[in-house]
């Protein structure tokens, strides 16, 4: 089985790729089979996951081991009463057991509920109760929190990878005991491309989190973009992301596609992102392709790039990247940073790719082959090039969600006609490049102008003393709102004279009417668990 046979993008330049692209979605497609069992059957010893502990200890998992472990765990889950359609929660940091649990649940036709380890008890309780999860997989660090959060919910069993036993908590089963009790040949349930596979909750920055339910086919829907940003995955590549696998960015922008292509995936539990440690990991494991969120890239830019890196391509998304950061990637990492765009409900529909000639600083790229993306107005009609509107994706896309869990009204509200509304504002130029402007509620209204924060922030971050920045609108009696910038400076930088310099930089490089009238220096910006700046918090701070 050749990696090139699994790629979805045709060979050739951009014109031939777009004209020759066709979706191939087998009716019986299964994520567990495509990412685990098929490779184990082809080459059981092939490296699947390289787990690197904090002390540097390495454990290499083959696809054969991954299949055997997931079969055993699936059998144990079945013995604990899990059936097709049940929800199975996973509360673990990056480690091979995360993928074992994913594939085990999927082999039963169950729906995986990824949970972030930094969630507090309230956040866990909401997701467990709302989803109706019946079983969870976790470790000893988080088991007590999970037991407490699951009280009163449908959660009846917890499998822990640690040493906790049922004698210590009635619902807790030790991983080793569960696995050792699973004997004999395992027979997976029949699943298909349209069967539900993963339930990922939105970050909930506006209102209660909503569960976005996805089918097995949504992995295939991610592949064209992954192939673009990683410049066509190939034999010899090693992949890593610091993004937690509980989020769609870490899980579907890199981790699952890596295993689909039969490539080694590096896992490491980083309690806090450390750019120096990241560089050492990238060098020592000879990582060649990565998904790096913008926050990680900005922090890494402030560090020292070591010699001997093997980086070939980097994907990034979640916040817009400026030309300075893209140039740093080429000049220092010797690799293109290709932007991508999507959201939990409909991910990876716009991308750039230097290798395919789709790259324009300040834009996200172009619609990925197979995805029809448009900028629409409030009536659902496409707007003219250059005009700002809402980014939308046409129905029927393989990467599109099945709907919000138990929220049919919210699901219906997500669409207008044949378009899924993203809630993001953007514009398209005459060449088809899309530029992200802002979330609809992040637009700044000042003196009659509608101002998006993205290009202001990109300009500010281009200053050598600035690590990160966010622009928001704060109330003003004359202008309705004025632009205020919150700025994080590099360690050791002085604040003296910097505010005036930054304001002038925006005036000169973007436009005087969008230049900040207030600048506040802060130690850090409020961000979601996925690294997106929570501008609402900054607006409330004023």
pLDDT tens, residue by residue, 336-367 = 999 999 999 999 999 999 999 999 988 999 99
Global pTM value: 0.85
Q: What is the mean pLDDT of residues 289-303?
A: 90
Question: What pLDDT shows up at residue 203?
Answer: 62
State both tokens at 509.
């490089």
Q: What is the mean pLDDT of residues 5-24?
A: 96
Task: Kindly state the DSSP code that residue 119 receives in the 8-state scheme.
Answer: -
Q: How many CB atoms lie within 10 A of CB 170?
A: 10
Burial 444-456 (b: 16+ CB within 10 A, else e): bebeeeebbbbbb
Q: Are residues 426 and 451 in the same domain?
A: no
Is residue 20, in this structure, part of any structural domain at all? no
Q: What's the CATH number where 384 sits?
A: 2.30.38.10
Instruction: Identify the band that residue 166 occupies on the pLDDT scale cut at 50, 70 and 90.
Output: very low
Task: Name the residue range of residue 435's domain.
Answer: 363-439
Residues contacting residue 153 through CB under 8 Å, at least 6 positions apart? 125, 128, 129, 132, 133
| Predicted confidence (pLDDT) per residue in 420-447, tens digit | 999 999 999 999 999 988 776 777 867 6
Q: What is the mean pLDDT of residues 451-472?
A: 87
Strand ordering across the sheet containing 466-476: 466-476, 480-489, 518-521
Q: What is the mean pLDDT of residues 512-520?
A: 90
Where a domain ends, among 189, 216, 243? Answer: 216
Q: Are residues 534 and 432 in the same domain?
A: no
Instruction: Identify the band that residue 396 occupies on the pLDDT scale cut at 50, 70 and 90.
Output: very high
Three-state DSSP class for 121? helix
Is residue 466, in this structure, part of any structural domain at all? yes
Q: How many CB atoms lie within 10 A of CB 2?
A: 9
What percent of the chain shows pLDDT beyond 90? 75
Q: What is the mean pLDDT of residues 85-108?
A: 98
Q: Are residues 422 and 448 in the same domain?
A: no
Phi/psi for 101 (5° steps) reads -65, -40
Distance CA 199, CA 251 (A): 12
Is residue 276, in this structure, part of any structural domain at all? no
Q: What is the mean pLDDT of residues 473-489?
A: 87
Phi/psi for 437 (5° steps) reads -100, -55
Is residue 341, in this structure, part of any structural domain at all? no
Where a domain ends, among 174, 195, 216? Answer: 216
Q: Are residues 435 and 453 in the same domain?
A: no
Confirm if 318 and 341 have CB atoms less than 8 A apart: no
Helices 275-284 and 294-301 cross at an angle (nearest 10°) of 90
Domain count, the chain: 3
Q: Are residues 420 and 514 in the same domain?
A: no
Residues contacting residue 219 through CB under 8 Å, at least 6 positions apart? 29, 31, 34, 35, 252, 256, 257, 260
Q: Is the pLDDT score of 204 beyond 70?
A: no
Is residue 331, in this structure, part of any structural domain at all? no
Q: Which of 431, 408, 248 is nearest to 342 (CA)?
A: 248
Where a domain ends, among 216, 241, 271? Answer: 216
Q: Are residues 428 and 457 in the same domain?
A: no
Is residue 328, in this structure, part of any structural domain at all? no
Q: What's the CATH number where 467 sits?
A: 3.30.300.30
Q: Are residues 426 and 379 in the same domain?
A: yes
What percent of the chain shows pLDDT beyond 70? 96
Q: What is the mean pLDDT of residues 502-523?
A: 89
């Amino acid at each position: 089985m050749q990696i090139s046979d699994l790629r979805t993008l045709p060979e050739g330049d951009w014109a031939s790729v777009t004209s020759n692209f066709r979706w191939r979605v087998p009716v019986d497609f299964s994520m567990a089979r495509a990412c685990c069992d098929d490779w184990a059957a082809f080459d059981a010893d092939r490296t699947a996951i390289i787990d690197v502990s904090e002390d540097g200890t390495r454990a290499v998992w083959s696809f054969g081991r991954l299949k055997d472990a997931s079969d055993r765990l699936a059998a144990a889950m079945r013995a604990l009463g899990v059936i097709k359609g049940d929800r199975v929660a996973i509360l673990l940091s990056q480690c091979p057991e995360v993928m074992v649990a994913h594939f085990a649940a999927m082999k039963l036709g169950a729906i995986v509920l990824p949970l972030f380890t930094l969630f507090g008890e309230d956040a866990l309780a909401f997701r467990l109760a709302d989803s109706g999860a019946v079983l969870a997989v976790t470790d000893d660090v988080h088991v007590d929190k999970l037991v407490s959060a699951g009280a009163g919910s449908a959660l009846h069993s917890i499998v822990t990878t640690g040493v906790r036993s049922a004698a210590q908590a009635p619902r807790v089963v030790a991983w080793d005991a569960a696995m050792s009790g699973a004997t004999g040949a395992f027979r997976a349930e029949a699943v298909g491309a349209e069967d539900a596979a993963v339930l990922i909750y939105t970050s909930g920055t506006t209102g209660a989190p909503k569960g976005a339910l996805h089918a097995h086919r949504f992995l295939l829907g991610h592949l064209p973009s992954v192939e673009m940003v990683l410049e066509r995955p190939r034999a010899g590549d090693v992949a890593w992301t610091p993004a937690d696998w509980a989020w769609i960015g870490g899980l579907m922008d890199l981790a699952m596609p890596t295993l689909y292509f039969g490539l080694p995936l590096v896992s490491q539990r980083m309690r806090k992102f450390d750019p120096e440690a990241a560089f050492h990991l990238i060098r020592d494991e000879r990582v060649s392709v990565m998904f790096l969120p913008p926050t990680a890239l900005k922090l890494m830019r402030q560090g020292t790039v070591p010699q001997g890196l093997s980086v070939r391509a980097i994907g990034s998304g979640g916040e817009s990247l400026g030309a300075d950061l893209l140039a740093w990637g080429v000049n220092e990492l010797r690799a293109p940073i290709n932007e991508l765009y999507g959201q939990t409900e409909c991910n990876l529909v716009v991308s750039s790719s230097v290798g395919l000639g789709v790259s324009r600083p300040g834009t996200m790229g172009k619609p990925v082959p197979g995805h029809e993306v448009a900028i629409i107005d409030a009536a659902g009609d496409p707007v003219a090039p250059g005009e700002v509107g809402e980014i939308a994706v046409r129905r029927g896309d393989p990467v599109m969600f099945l709907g919000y869990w138990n929220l049919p009204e919210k699901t219906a509200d997500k669409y207008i006609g044949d378009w899924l509304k993203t809630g993001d504002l953007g514009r398209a130029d005459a060449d088809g490049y899309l530029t992200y402007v802002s979330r609809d509620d992040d637009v700044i209204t000042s003196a009659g102008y509608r101002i998006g924060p993205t290009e202001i922030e990109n300009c500010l971050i281009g200053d050598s003393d600035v690590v990160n920045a966010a622009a928001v609108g704060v109330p003003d009696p004359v202008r309705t709102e004025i632009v205020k910038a919150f700025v994080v400076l590099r360690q050791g930088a002085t604040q003296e004279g910097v505010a005036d310099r930054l304001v002038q930089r925006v005036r000169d490089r973007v436009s005087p009417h969008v230049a900040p009238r207030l600048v506040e220096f802060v130690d850090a910006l409020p961000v979601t668990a996925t690294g997106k700046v929570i501008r609402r918090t900054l607006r409330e701070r004023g």
